[in-house]
Copies of this chain bind each other. A is one copy, B any other.
Amino acid sequence: MTKITIYNEFYHEQTEEKVREVYPQGIHGALADFLRSDENEVRCFTLETIEEITDEVLDDTDVMLWWGHLRHSAVPDEVAQRVRNAVLKGMGIIFLHSGHHSKPFRLLMGTSCDVSWREDGDMERLWNICPSHPIMRGIGRYFELEHEETYSEPFTLPEPDQVLMIGWYEGGEVFRSACTFHRENGRIFYFQPGHETFPIFYDPNVQTVIRNAVEWVKPMYRVEKLYSPHIKKIGEE
């Protein structure tokens, strides 16, 4: 059983008719829909219930998904730190789309995580550059999204462990759209698709990547922190 915790700020869906039409149950609802299964147990939190993301919840989570955008700054600093600490202890996490600017992602990366962007509904073609990586299982040479918000390099990240996909936009931009990282005991996946006004999370390829990523970031086992001054010296009894 994989225990999945989804955070979605759930703001656009309540303030913009266009977004509500695409995601009537919220982005978290759409994510939960395709992740929920006999193997996966899914819980959802929104900005309204964010204080309920306690250490107990995180200790009981294998994989977290994070979607946020306009309300990043409303996320309490303590919750952001809690999430970061849970990742360092071993919880897997997936940051979706505008989650690149969320507090926990920036805390984990250490950089500003800025991107350039355009909202013109460009077609995006996402190229699979690591076809044997477990997250790319079932993905061909590339897949396309008819309309997506354009994100553009430079994306001010620390060097990813691996870049799995590079996005091509019809207006002339490129973007490192799928990146893996590890920080201490936790695995991190950033995935660019997922603008709120397009039905991205219903796309079968996007769902395949996210499902694979849940398996990949999930901790295999938990470790206790191994530091202390009490090391047995050579020659000590």
Encoded as 1 (CB less than 8 Å from any B CB) or 0, chain A from 63 to 91 comes to: 00000000000000000000010001010
Task: From A18-26, A35-43, A107-115, A201-209, give the one contacting chain B.
Answer: A107-115
Interface residue from B110, B128, B140, B162 paired with A183 (Cβ < 8 Å): B110
Are B88 and A231 closer than 8 Å at their CB atoms? no
Q: Mark A144-182, 1 if CB is under 8 A from B, else 0.
A: 000000101111101101110011101111101000011
- Is A34 interfacial (CB-CB < 8 Å)? no
Contact assessment for A226 and B173 in the assembled complex, using a CB-CB cutoff below 8 Å = no
Inter-chain CA distance A5–B140, complex, in Å, is 30
Interface residue A95 (Cβ < 8 Å from any Cβ of B): no
User: Is the CB–CB distance between B129 and A173 below 8 Å?
Assistant: no
Inter-subunit contact A115/B227 (CB<8 Å): yes
Contact at B153–A220, with CB atoms within 8 Å?
Answer: no
Kindly list chain B residues whose C-beta atoms are within 8 Å of the C-beta of A123. 234
**Minimum Cβ distance to chain B for residue A118 (Å):** 5
Chain B neighbourhood of A108, CB < 8 A? 110
The answer, among B130, B153, B161, for a CB contact under 8 Å with A166, is B153
**A125–B172 touching, CB < 8 Å:** yes
Nearest B residue to A123, CB-CB: B234
Please tell me which one of the listed residues B120, B154, B221, B223 contacts residue A226 in the complex, with CB atoms under 8 A apart: B154
Q: Within 8 Å CB of A161, what residues of B? A: 159, 161
Which residue of B has the minimal Cβ distance to A125?
Answer: B172
Q: A109-B110, A110-B110, A226-B141 are in contact. Are A155 and B174 (CB under 8 A)?
A: no
Report whether A221 and B107 are in contact in the complex, using a CB–CB cutoff of 8 Å.
no
When C-beta atoms are compared, the residue in chain B nearest to A159 turns out to be B162
Using a CB–CB cutoff of 8 Å, the interface residues on chain A facing chain B are: 84, 88, 90, 107-112, 114-120, 123, 125, 127-132, 134, 137, 140-141, 150, 152-156, 158-159, 161-163, 166-168, 170-174, 176, 181-186, 219-221, 223, 225-229, 231-235
